[in-house]
Chain A
Amino acid sequence: MGLTFVFLVMAIVYLPILLLVFLSFSDGLEFYVQLFTTTEYMTAIGNTLLIAVVASFIATIIATMAATGILYLGKRTRAITMAVNQLPVINADIVTSFSLVLLFVGLGMTNLGLLKLLLAHILIALPFCLLTILPKMRQLDANLIDAALDLGASPFKAFTSVIVPQLVPAMIQAFLLGFTLSLDDFVITQYNNSGVATISTVVYGAISRRDIPDAFKALTTIIFIVILLVLVVMNLNAARIRKGIKLNKKVIAGILAGILLLTGAGVIPVIVTNLTPRSLVLKVYNWEDYIETSLLDDFTDYYREQLADQGVKDADKFRIEYHTFTDNEELYSKINTQHADYDLIFPSEYMVEKMATEGLLQPINGSRITEPMDGTILARTSAFTTVYDQDNNPVADQVWAIPYMIGTVGIMYDTSVITKMQDETGLDIDDFETMLAEYGFGILFGEGESTKYSGRITMKKSARDSIGIAMIYSEQRKSSTHKVNDAEYYLPQIIDEDYDNTMLEEILNMDGDYSIDAARAVLMEQIRTMHPVYENDNGKKSFIDPNNDDFAYGLFWSCDAGIAMWEMDEANADNEDFENPLRFYAPNGTNLWTDNFAIPTYAKNTDAAYEFINFMLNHENAAVNTDYVGSQMIAVGDAIDDLKYGEDGYGVPEPGVIYDIFDQETNYACTIFPTEDNITYSAIMHNFDAKKEKAVNSLMVDVQNKAAQLTEEAGTSVNWFLIVIAVLIVATLLWWLIYKLTHRRPRFTPTPLLPNQQA
C-alpha cells in the first residue's frame, strides 16, 4: 500500500522525463549524433558541468571553513550570520538573481564571463553546504582544533589534518547538494550569464520560438541513464557492505572520478574554444532560428579559403561561434551591461537607434559592402541609418546598420476555425475577409461583427507591437465609418502621389499630438469586449496545431505567419489535397519592421563580420536564406527574382498585375515578400526616450494584470487542487475536533526530551 504510493509519485515525477527519453529516439540515433557533434551544445554542457563542479567545490570548502570558524564567533554575531545564511535559502530565486544583477552592475563587473556565473552559483550552493556541514561540525569535539593549535599546528594545518578528515562524508553530501542545485538552476543563470552558454540558456533560446532542441532530448536520456546507474551502484555498494567487504571509499572515489571525467570531457571544447586566436573566430549573435544554418558552414569554408589565399596561418582553424537571443532587450543588455564581444549582431530598427546613440555600434563602412540592395526598401528604412540628437539634429551622417530581414505586422487567421465557427457567428470566409479588408486592425478591437470572435483572438505580449497597433487603430476610429478606406482616415488623403509617412510615423511612435493614453483606452476597452489572449511568441504554435481550435485570428509578425504556414505545409507534405488554412493580411498603414546587421563597438573581428554580411547579401545565398527563414532579405539579383516570381518560386504577382490577396498561394507569397503597398504605406518604429519606454512597458504590465483579473473573474479556470485540499483540511479538522470531544487528553508532554530539531 505504502510503496504503491511511492511508486505512483515517482511515476508522475518521471513521466515528463520519460516522454523526452521516448522522443529522443524518434529519429534513430540522429539526436545523439547532433548532441555530440554540435559545438554549441557541447560547449553549453561543458560550461554547465564546469560551473556546477567548481562552484559546489569552492562552496563546500568555504562552508567547511566557515563551520569551523562560526562556532568561535560571539553569540550575537553567530545569530546574525545564521540569519544571513537563511536569506538566500528562503529568498525567491528571482529576487536573488535580480539583486545579483544590480550588484554586478554596481561593481562594474560586467564582462567576467564564466567567472561571474561561477560567483553566482557559489551563492546557490554555499548556504545549503553550510547547513549540511554545520550540524556534523557541532558533533565534533571542539577541543580537537584547540589541541592542534596549542600543539603548534598552523591554522591551515589544523584545518586540513584535523577538521577535514572527520567531515568528509558531510562534505561529500554538501558537494552533491550544491552540484544538484547548480544543475537545476535556470533563473540565476538566465539573469547573470554574460554570453556564456549553458544548458539553461540554450534551452531557453530554443523554446521561445520552437521546441526543446532535439539534441537535449538525447541529453535528458543520458542523464536519466546516469541516474539509473547511480541507483544501481548504490545498491551494489550496499550489497557488498552487507557481505562485509568495505568498498565505500573506492565507490565514492569512483563516482567522483566519473563526475570529474565527464566534466573533463565537457570542458575540453571550452578550452579548445578559448585557444583559437580571436582573429580566427567570428562571434555572431542572432535571433533564434533566424538563419539557414548550412550557410554558416558554407561561409566557414569560403572564408577559410580566403584567409588561406591571404597567407594567414592556421586559416583552416577559422570558425563561427553562433549564439542566439530572444528579444532586443536581451541583446541590448548583453552588449551594454556585459560588453560581450560579438562581431556581428542583429538588432531591430529601434534598437539600432538606441545602441548607436549610446555609442554601442561602429558605423558601417559603406565601401566594404559590395553586394547590391533593394532601393525601395532601403529608402523606407533609411530613417534609422542617421542618428538624431534630442533636438532632432543629425549627430553624424553615418550608416549604423544594414537591413537583414524586413516584414510587416498584420493579422493571421485560420480559415478552418472561422468556417467551424460559421454556425455560431453567421460569417463565412468571404464575409470575414470582407470585414478584414474593410476594418484592417479594427477587427482586433471589435469593429464590424468581430465581437463574435470574442475570446478567440490573440494579441502580442511584446509591448511595442500591441501598443503600436492600438495607436494606429485609435486613429482609424476617429473617422465616421471606422474603416481603413474612409475618406476621413489619414491614409487615403496622402496615398496619392507622394506618400509621406510622417503622420503614420508620429502615430506609431506616439510623437507630436499622439499620446500613449489613446492606446491605453483602446487596449483596456479591448480586454472587456474582445477578451484577447496575450501570447509570447509561441502563440503561433496553437495556430499550427490542427487539433487546436482556440483561436480564429491574431496579431502577428509576417515572419511568424510565414513560419506557421511553412510548418503546416511541412506537416502535411504527404497529403496532396491539403490546403493550408492559414492566411496573413497586413492592412495598408502598418508597422514595417527590420532586423539588421550591425557591428558592436566591442567587436574584435570586423573583417570577418564584413565578409559575412557580403556573403549573406549575395543573391544566391540570400535566396536560400529567405526560403528557409520565411521573410524577405534586402538582397537583389536573379536568384531572388526566381524565388519571388519564378515557376518553382513563391509566385509573387508581377508588378502591375491585379491579384487576390486572399488566394492561398498569393497570400503565402505576399506574407514572405511584403507587397509594395505594404512597404510604401507603412512606418517604422523609433527608439523611445526613457520616460516613454517606461510608459510603454508599464502599460503592457497593466494590460496583463487587467486581462488576468478579468479572465479570472470570468471563472474559466476551476482550481481543483484548491478544492480538494480545502476538503481534506476541513475533513482533518473535523475529525480532530470529534476525536478531541470524544477522547480524554492523556497527560504526556514530550517537551523535555525533545532533541535538537533544527538540524
Chain B
Amino acid sequence: MSSVLRATGLSKSFGGLVAVKDVSFEAAPGEIFAIIGPNGAGKTTLLNLISGLLTPTTGRLELLGTDVTAMPTYRRCRLGLGRAFQVVQPFPEMTVAENVLVGAQFGSEGVSSSEARRRADQALERTGLDRLRDQPVEDLNLLQEKRLEIARALATQPKVLLLDEVMAGLRPGEARQAVELVRGVRDEGITVVFIEHVMPVVRDLADRVLVMDHGAELARGTYAEVTSDPRVVEAYLGVEDDDSRAGEESADARSVREAPGDDAGATAGRDA
C-alpha cells in the first residue's frame, strides 16, 4: 500500500539552531505511527512542519500523494490533515459545539450547513462531548479540553490525524479512555501520527515508532525494537557525556525502562 504521509529529508533550522535534521518517514493508511524522544528532540517542530505552521528549510512532504511542502495550513486541512494541539487552544468566546462546528464548516470544500452540523454532532458524540455541547469552553476541565481538541480535528474529516501529547496530564482512567478513542479513530481508517511521552500508551497504540533525538532520527521500528535498541535507552537515560541531560533523569527515562517489563507502574491503556 502507498503511504498517506511521506516526509523526505525534512529539516528545519532557526538561525543556527537545527531543530529537525533530515527526518524521513512514511505512514501507511490506517497506521498508528508514534513519534517519541526526549524533551527538545524536535518532535513538536516536526509536527508543525507536517501541519504547515512551519515551512521546512529543506526536504519534501507529501500528503495523500500531493506535494504539500509549501502549502498553507488551511489547504492541508481541507486535503485531509487534522491536528490536535499539545497546549489546548479552544476559541474562547464560543461554546463547545461552536468550536467543533468551525472545523466541520471549513475543514472540507463545499460543505452544506446541514452536513457541517451533522459532522460536528458526530465528532461531539465520538468524543463524548455531546452533553457539554452548549457549555462555554471556559467551563471545561483538562480531559474535556483534550477531547475538544480531538473533536475539532475529527470534525474536519481528516484522513491523517496528528495528535500532540494528548495524554499528558491525564489520570490513568482518563488516558485509557483516550487510548480507546484513538483506536476507534484508527478503526475507521484514519491514519494517526502522534507524539507521546507516556510510554505504555505508545506501547499499546503504536504500530511503528520513530525515535528522535537532537532533531534527527535515532531509531525506527516496532515498540519492542526501538525500546531494546541501546542507542534509544542511552538517549533517554543520558548515559552519554551530556551532563546537563544526564542530571535530570526524566519520567521518560524511567518509563522507557519500566515499559517493556511486566509492569505495575504502567497505567494508561493497560487493560483497554
Q: Do A and B come from one complex?
A: no
- Please report A residues at the B interface, Cβ cutoff 8 Å: none
